[in-house]
Structure 1
Amino acid sequence: MMRSPAAATGGSRNPGTPRRRSQDSWDVSRSSASSGSSGRSKSSSSSGATSGRNPVQLAAWVIGSCFSPLAVRSEKEDFTPPLTPSRCTYGSAPGSSHTTERRRSGSGIRGISSNTSQRKPGSMRFTMAEIHKATKNFSPVLKIGQGGSGTVYKAQLDDGTLVAVKRAKKNVYDNYLSVEFQSEIQTLARVEHLNLVRFYGFLEYEGERILVVEYVSNGTLREHLDCRRGKPLDLGARLDIAIDVAHAVTYLHMYSDHPIIHRDIKSSNILITDNLRAKVADFGFARVGATESGATHVSTQVKGTAGYLDPEYLGTYQLTEKSDVYSFGVLLVELLSGRRPIEPKKELKERITTKWAMKKFTEGNAMQILDPNLSPNPATTLAVEQIFELVLRCLAPTRHKRPSMRRCAKILWSIRKDYRELLFSDSFSQPSDQRNAIPNQKKEEELMG
């Protein structure tokens, strides 16, 4: 089931110390935002209703819950109960060194400092009074998204900072909403990367569960593919977005303090900035990967979104980082074709987009997959064929045949380089204004190291 993201990240590009690292010089950790000497964001811990939890209980908070028709909700026992409704907890993520309880007046410490970009993820403190003021009492005019788990509002803090306020759905009969809320807090507080949503803070107050994240004004990738955000994305922008997502997921898998599996990589969870770069959002389904020595997977109930789910995970209940790789392969097909993973209004043979696209590619008709909004040319033809070679590997039926996300990022980087070079060489036959629109590849390569 679709959930609505509305967030962005901030942070520097200082290199962090990776948890594990290959020997090649290309290093995705250079895109991570570091706080302190390490690129790993360490979660803090809350007192009050959370102070009695031991590390095992806190780690269990990372398991998300799914509300799609395919989801099996049976992980409630992995979580501690939600905070006592009569108290207001705010500030750092669960597990923080300080949590304060306030009375219902909502007065006290201000929500944000003037230097938001240097604050540790989840370290800001909010009151219900501040949230009501920022959202104009949750005005429908400020609503920017709605999904199965809650509603997202555009808000402005006292210092003028624009934020997105995610208000979890109120349902006293459904504890899974609280489970997902806690999971998202715990994951967001542990990660910090240029291409991941930036987390400011949270608040639990009686029946309210609030997340505050940075606001991104340019919508989701799905909205852009549906042409609801201005002119269609060209192939160069789509390659940039794919690489950004690959960097973000590589960071989750390899450079966070423990491997994190997102479990819900999809176009509606990819936020687009004003300069058409991507940030991965929505960590309600995220799960810590295998951490024991020699372990290859974690066994868990199936959670995710129909059309993006790894069939091996669906059949065996064994979750690995390669489940995210499968979802990423579906996303690549979406970027190339513009189609959703499931198209119920298409004729039967075209309803499952990945199956339709793979058949076209293996028959030698790769360009029939291309989004009609993209103009075919030699550079595009080469890029589509190269991307689909990667897609076939990502969508392999068994995880052992799929590449790592790090490998996906490196391949896409090479594809983009070839695309730009061929596009540039072909551009001399085009008007000068079109030639000037070609991105400066050398400058970006220098920035990425």
Structure 2
Amino acid sequence: MSGRRKNSSGDLFGYPPSPSHSSYSSSSKSSSATNSTSGRSRVTGAARSVAGVFAACFSPPEDDTNHPSSSAYGSSDAFSSTSDVSGASDSTEGRRRGTARGIYATRNDSTHMREPGSTKFTMAEITTATKNFSPAHKIGQGGFGTVYKGQLRDGTLVAVKRAKKSMYDKNLVGEFLSEVQALSKVEHLNLVKCYGFLQHGDERIIVVEYIANGTLREHLDCFNGNVLSLASRLDIAIDVAHAITYLHTYTDHPIIHRDIKSSNILLTEKLRAKVADFGFARLAADVESGQTHVSTQVKGTAGYLDPEYLKTYQLTEKSDVYSFGILLVEIVTGRRPVESKRELEERVTARWALKKFKEDLAITVLDPKLERSDANGFVLEKILDLALQCVNSHRKSRPTMRRCVEVLWEIRKDVQLLN
């Protein structure tokens, strides 16, 4: 099978990354050079140049927003953590801001055209929507608090995230509001919408879009009896990559999700992916001010956490890239990142799968529910090759999420040619 590359320098697991890192580096340098000037005209010009590249990548918004519940709504812990922005040796590529966000943004597709983030809800509205937080409306539970299904007066179905009272701290009110305000400005087809919030007394509540059809993790486990094809999994990976790219590159200020994982990816009835749960999200460093990372306590989920972030407490967009690499391995193998009941050498899924990939035995790690065909083998090797880039132990050597989108679309094009 094609797609194998011999590697030259070490990665997280001791397996060398591909020479294709040079293409990632050159892409990043080129992007930085393009964005070296300042002003609104620069942003607009950059937006136009990127629009041509990505024009064919977008699908029209969905017209179905009445979706069942998912446990992903309640999977986060704290909304934010104390942090400071500082300089370090790591460099971050230049970004396209302001008007550029329109490239990745999509119109609100709610039946009732409710604008994301536009509403500061009252307690009366929330209690009415959730039937006074009825246990029958509970759809999720996490470290952050409890999530309820609700219906607003205009008929919009929502998920209401209610923070634990024990988490309330007056010193965190400012951070809570700044986080909500940042998230209220993002809108993308592959991101769960944030409709608004409530902060009153000891209540902190966020109201978000209500999505159907379970999480990606549930579908990988075949909770509904249907097996996701590898083609569908590739489409889902592309959706997720688009969402993270938007957060990193096309928002007014870059946002690091910090908890990319299969249980935080909701699927619509048409199997379009929407990234959910911004409970750990942080604003990234302000590159234009010379800052390169956010120094903050570690947040995230075991198995997906960037080892360099764990070691240095320096958070960058490349931490999301690492998590995405782990997710790619999970998508093609069907296994969770850590499987404690497996044999010792198979317990860390990415380590096991990428070792097999290096040994030209990639097909042995394909989800056994999928057919071992030449086409599937081709896609598997290409995706594992990208995953290997993403989980490099050195963040500078990881691709940007924008580059991940490009690679995944190249894989899809190749598959279409094969068929």
Give the TM-score normalised by structure 1.
0.68
Q: How big is the shift at 1:221?
A: 1.0
Residues 112 and 155 in structure 2, CA contact (< 8 A), matched pair in contact too: no
Asked if 1:398 corresponds to 2:405, the answer is: no
Q: How big is the shift at 1:397?
A: 1.1
Q: How big is the shift at 1:186?
A: 2.9
Residues 152 and 165 in structure 1, CA contact (< 8 A), matched pair in contact too: yes
Q: Secondary structure of 1:27's match?
A: helix
Alignment of 1:9-408 (within 5 A): 25-27=52-54, 67=77, 75=82, 118-171=113-166, 181-182=176-177, 184-293=179-288, 294-408=290-404
Residues 84 and 295 in structure 2, CA contact (< 8 A), matched pair in contact too: no
Identity within the alignment, %: 62
**Larger relative contact order, structure 1 or 2 (CA cutoff 8 Å, min sep 6):** 2
Partner of 1:37: none
Distance 1:375 1:280 in 2: 28
Q: How big is the shift at 1:117?
A: 5.7
Distance 2:237 2:350 in 1: 17
More divergent stretch after superposition (271-280 vs 207-216): 207-216
Q: Secondary structure of 1:355's match?
A: helix
Structure 1 portions without partners, runs of 5+: 1-16, 35-65, 79-113, 426-449
1:415-447 per-residue CA deviation (whole Å, 9 max, x = no partner) reads 12222343xx3xxxxxxxxxxxxxxxxxxxxxx
Q: Secondary structure of 1:242's match?
A: helix
Distance 1:228 1:133 in 2: 32
State which structure, 1 or 2, has the greater radius of gyration over its C-alpha atoms.
1
Q: Secondary structure of 1:131's match?
A: helix
Residues 218 and 272 in structure 1, CA contact (< 8 A), matched pair in contact too: yes
Distance 2:310 2:55 in 1: 29
Residues 287 and 125 (structure 1 numbering): CA distance in 2 closer, same or farther, change over 3 Å?
A: closer
Residues 18 and 254 in structure 1, CA contact (< 8 A), matched pair in contact too: no
Distance 1:205 1:295 in 2: 34
Give the TM-score normalised by structure 2.
0.73
Residues 76 and 176 in structure 1, CA contact (< 8 A), matched pair in contact too: no
Distance 2:312 2:191 in 1: 29
Q: How big is the shift at 1:173?
A: 6.9
Residues 393 and 172 (structure 1 numbering): CA distance in 2 closer, same or farther, change over 3 Å?
A: closer
Distance 2:44 2:174 in 1: 29
Residues 28 and 251 in structure 1, CA contact (< 8 A), matched pair in contact too: no
Q: Which of 390, 409, 413 is 1:413 aligned to?
A: 409
Residues 144 and 279 in structure 2, CA contact (< 8 A), matched pair in contact too: no
1:183-219 per-residue CA deviation (whole Å, 9 max, x = no partner) reads 6413321211111111111112332221111110212
Residues 144 and 154 in structure 1, CA contact (< 8 A), matched pair in contact too: yes
Structure 2 portions without partners, runs of 5+: 1-42, 62-75, 86-108
Q: Secondary structure of 1:213's match?
A: strand
Which has the larger helix fraction? 2
Q: What RMSD in Å do the two structures reach over aligned CA positions? A: 3.0
User: Residue type of the partner of 1:298?
Assistant: V
Residues 219 and 228 in structure 2, CA contact (< 8 A), matched pair in contact too: yes
1:2-58 per-residue CA deviation (whole Å, 9 max, x = no partner) reads xxxxxxxxxxxxxxx669559563227985999xxxxxxxxxxxxxxxxxxxxxxxx
Q: Secondary structure of 2:403's match?
A: helix
Partner of 2:14: none
Q: How big is the shift at 1:385?
A: 0.6
More divergent stretch after superposition (262-271 vs 282-291): 282-291
Q: Secondary structure of 2:304's match?
A: coil
Q: How big is the shift at 1:226?
A: 1.7
Distance 1:151 1:389 in 2: 39
1:229-288 per-residue CA deviation (whole Å, 9 max, x = no partner) reads 341211111111100110011111111111111111111111111100111111121222
Partner of 1:110: none
Residues 31 and 193 in structure 1, CA contact (< 8 A), matched pair in contact too: no
